Amino acid sequence: MKIETRAVHAGDRKRIPGQPTPVTTPIVTASSFLHESTATLDRVMGHEEEGWSYSRYGNPTNGALEDLICDLEGGASALACASGMLAVQTAFLVALTDRPKRILAASALYGATTGMLTKILEPLGVEVEFIDICDLAAVERRIVDWKPGCVILETLSNPLLRVPAIDRIAAITHASGAALIVDNTFATPLLVRPLELGANLVVHSLTKFLAGHGDVLGGIVVADAAHAETLRNLSRISGPVLGPFESYLTMRGVKTFVLRMERQCANARRVAEWLSANPAVSRVHFPEDPAHPDADVIARLLPQGMYGAIVTFELRDAGREEVFRFMDAFRLVVCGTSLGDVHSLLLYPAIASHRDLSPKQRERQGITDGLVRLCCGIEAVEDIIADLAQAIEACRAGLTRGEAASVSLSPDTATSCASLVVKPAAASQAAHHK
């Protein structure tokens, strides 16, 4: 079956003999489960028989979500976690269980992942090195010479959208005995399935595209067959599990993620094209760009016409003050600290996703003070572009938030903004919060 069908059906409608089957998986809040005999409980606790005993070990609602994502990613086992970062941490623990405590990490990563490596794992004695993960020759040399226990990268890097050659890096890591961890949050299994390319562990922030409605905090680890047992054993001890209500909401969101992602990808292409022609924008980062530094990899790994929902761009000659003014001027686009929701979300990496990095670290990654990251929602793309246009106009005019809300727009911008439905007072409510 195709992924559109599996997203709707996988995980649900598990039949129990003698009982009616609910059409969607119910929310099971019980912490413990009873069995008809102590002997049955003994077999379940000993993993000799399938069943539920204690929700830290497994829960029917969580299990359905895990089956669903495991099916979409082509994995052997999955673990739903309380946050995306807990999923990343769990993946590190699984990968390094019986390997050297050395991690080779992409230099371009989500800021919190970098923080976990440098502020938590390094102080615990794990050696960490960062590398340009798109420099395949350098990656191979370092893996061969240093012999790390695992390598971590992102399918589409946050926020500059670099695309590493996952399949070739996987072959190198396997030859050295290392494990490959891939954060597939930006791409989702609709665009890329890293396990099929040779990755060992895939992580997602469920909060983003998979749940997709801004109402869930969660993460998930999907493991290949070689790491499935280690993942489940570790989870039973450490208990990083997601709550059943969040699992239910996520599963409901996943059923429509393909439809949402297709619309969001299409919107992003239109927005990137419009931004590229705007003189107020000095640079646009988007995988469809023929001049993208990873164009050959993109052509090989991403489906044609599907480049993700993220467009990252730099406002010309802008610093912190100008970016704040730009963000405060939005009437429809939400300025927040996430992505993947049904509504368009704009984030300023310097104060949010990469806030904890030093200015020099951000500079080395190419994250300038004028750089912003837009995740396109499912709105009419004309309305997204209209809101961008009026926000750029307000920023260039040097207007304050209040002035921008009441300004009379130029005729062209006013016409294109006619369909905006969000009142000015509702704009940018979280612009300056991490």
Same domain, 105 and 152: yes
- Domain of 143, CATH number, reads 3.40.640.10
Q: 56 catalytic, yes or no? A: yes
**Number of structural domains the chain divides into:** 2
> Which is catalytic among the residues 6, 12, 54, 56?
56
Same domain, 138 and 160: yes
Which phi and psi (to 5°) does residue 327 adopt?
A: -65, -40
Residue where a domain stops, chosen among 243, 267, 282: 243
225 domain residue, yes or no: yes
> Which is catalytic among the residues 183, 328, 383, 387?
183
> Which is catalytic among the residues 162, 193, 208, 260?
208
77-81 and 219-223 as β-strands: parallel, antiparallel, unpaired? Answer: antiparallel
CA 378 to chain centre: 17
Same domain, 284 and 228: no
250 domain residue, yes or no: no
- Are 366 and 312 in contact by the 8 Å Cβ rule? The answer is no
Same domain, 100 and 180: yes
Q: 215 catalytic, yes or no? A: no
58 domain residue, yes or no: no
Q: 42 catalytic, yes or no? A: no
12 domain residue, yes or no: no
Same domain, 111 and 173: yes
Name the H helices within 302-420. Answer: 320-328, 359-365, 381-396, 401-406, 411-416
34 domain residue, yes or no: no
Same domain, 380 and 420: yes
Same domain, 234 and 272: no
44 domain residue, yes or no: no
Same domain, 84 and 185: yes
328 domain residue, yes or no: yes
**How far apart, in Å, are the Cα atoms of 296 and each of 45, 106, 150, 180, 407?**
50, 19, 25, 21, 45
Same domain, 212 and 266: no
- The phi-psi region of residue 383 (left if phi > 0; otherwise alpha if psi is between -120 and 50; otherwise beta) is alpha
Q: What is the dihedral of CA 275, 276, 277, 279, to 10 degrees?
A: 80
50 domain residue, yes or no: no
- Angle at CA 92, nearest 5°, toward 57 and 286? 115
Same domain, 157 and 201: yes
- Domain of 329, CATH number, reads 3.90.1150.10
Domain that holds residue 146: 63-243
**How far apart, in Å, are the Cα atoms of 380 and each of 309, 326, 330, 338?**
14, 21, 16, 20
Residue where a domain stops, chosen among 243, 266, 296: 243
pLDDT per position in the chain (434 positions), as tens? Answer: 999 999 999 999 887 777 788 999 999 999 999 998 999 999 999 989 989 999 999 999 999 999 999 999 999 999 999 999 999 999 999 999 999 999 999 999 998 999 999 999 999 999 999 999 999 999 999 999 999 999 999 999 999 999 999 999 999 999 999 999 999 999 999 999 999 999 999 999 999 999 999 999 999 999 999 999 999 999 999 999 999 999 999 999 999 999 999 999 999 999 999 999 999 999 999 999 999 999 999 999 999 999 999 999 999 999 989 999 999 999 999 998 899 999 999 999 987 777 777 777 777 778 888 999 999 999 999 999 999 999 999 998 887 666 666 655 555 554 444 444 333 333 333 333 33
> Which is catalytic among the residues 71, 110, 224, 383?
110
Same domain, 154 and 229: yes
